[in-house]
Amino acid sequence: MTEQYLKPFQRIQNAIQLAGFHYIVCLKAVPTNADYWISIEKKRYSFESIRTADSTELHGEFQRWAAKTVLRDLIEDFSFFLTEVYRNAIRAPLNVPYSATFEQFERKGIEDQLAILSADFPIDAAWISRLTGYNRARNCLAHRQGIVGPRDVTDGNDLVVRWLVAKAEASSEPVKSTVEAIGPMRALVEAYHVHGGAVRFEVDDKERRISSGAMLNFFPEEILEICLTFQMAAAAFSGLYQTDQ
Q: What's the structural domain count of the chain? A: 1
How many CB atoms sit inside 10 A of residue 76's CB? 14
DSSP, residue by residue, 25-66:
HHHH----TT-SEEEETTEEEE-GGGGGS-HHHHHHHHHHHH
Q: Is residue 23 situated within a structural domain?
A: yes
Average pLDDT, the chain: 83
Q: Is residue 62 situated within a structural domain?
A: yes
Confidence of residue 111 (pLDDT cuts 50, 70, 90): very high
In this prediction, residues 47-76 reach a mean pLDDT of 82
Kindly give the pairing relationship between strand 181-182 and strand 178-179: unpaired
Tell me the CA distances in angstroms from 216 to 24, 30, 161, 207, one per residue in order: 20, 22, 10, 13
Helix %, strand %, coil % for the chain, to 5?
A: 50, 20, 35
How far apart (Å, rounded) are the C-alpha atoms in residues 215 and 193?
A: 41
- 198 backbone dihedrals φ, ψ, rounded to 5°: -80, 150
Q: Is residue 19 situated within a structural domain?
A: yes
Q: Identify whether the C-beta of residue 118 lies closer than 8 Å to the C-beta of residue 189.
A: no
How far apart (Å, rounded) are the C-alpha atoms in residues 232 and 234?
A: 5
Q: Is the pLDDT of residue 240 over 90?
A: no
Q: Is residue 52 situated within a structural domain?
A: yes
Give me the domain span that covers residue 84: 3-153+219-238
Report the largest interatomic distance among the alpha carbons of the chain, rounded to a whole angstrom: 68
- 189 backbone dihedrals φ, ψ, rounded to 5°: -130, 160
How far apart (Å, rounded) are the C-alpha atoms in residues 212 and 28?
A: 32
Query: What's the pLDDT at 188?
Result: 63
Query: What's the pLDDT at 18?
Result: 95
Nearest Cα to Cα of residue 106 among 128, 77, 79, 127: 79
In this prediction, residues 194-202 reach a mean pLDDT of 63
Q: Is residue 53 situated within a structural domain?
A: yes
Q: What's the angle, vertex CA 186, arms to CA 182 and CA 128, rounded to 5? A: 160
- 201 backbone dihedrals φ, ψ, rounded to 5°: -115, 115
Specify the amino acid at residue 81. F
Q: What's the angle, vertex CA 168, arms to CA 183 and CA 166, rounded to 5? A: 55
Nearest Cα to Cα of residue 242 among 74, 86, 81: 86
Q: Is residue 20 situated within a structural domain?
A: yes
Confidence of residue 85 (pLDDT cuts 50, 70, 90): very high
The structure's pTM equals 0.83
Query: What's the pLDDT at 77?
Result: 97
Query: What's the pLDDT at 158?
Result: 97
Confidence of residue 244 (pLDDT cuts 50, 70, 90): very low
Q: Is residue 200 situated within a structural domain?
A: no
Window from 53-62, 119-128, 171-180, 202-211 with minimum mean pLDDT: 171-180
Say how many Å lie between the first and final Cα of the chain, rounded. Answer: 39
* Residue 222 or residue 45, greater confidence: 222
Q: Is residue 166 situated within a structural domain?
A: no
Which residues have CB under 8 Å from 17's CB, separation 6+? none
Segment 131-177, tens digit of pLDDT: 999 999 999 999 999 999 999 999 999 999 999 987 777 666 655 55
Specify the amino acid at residue 161. V
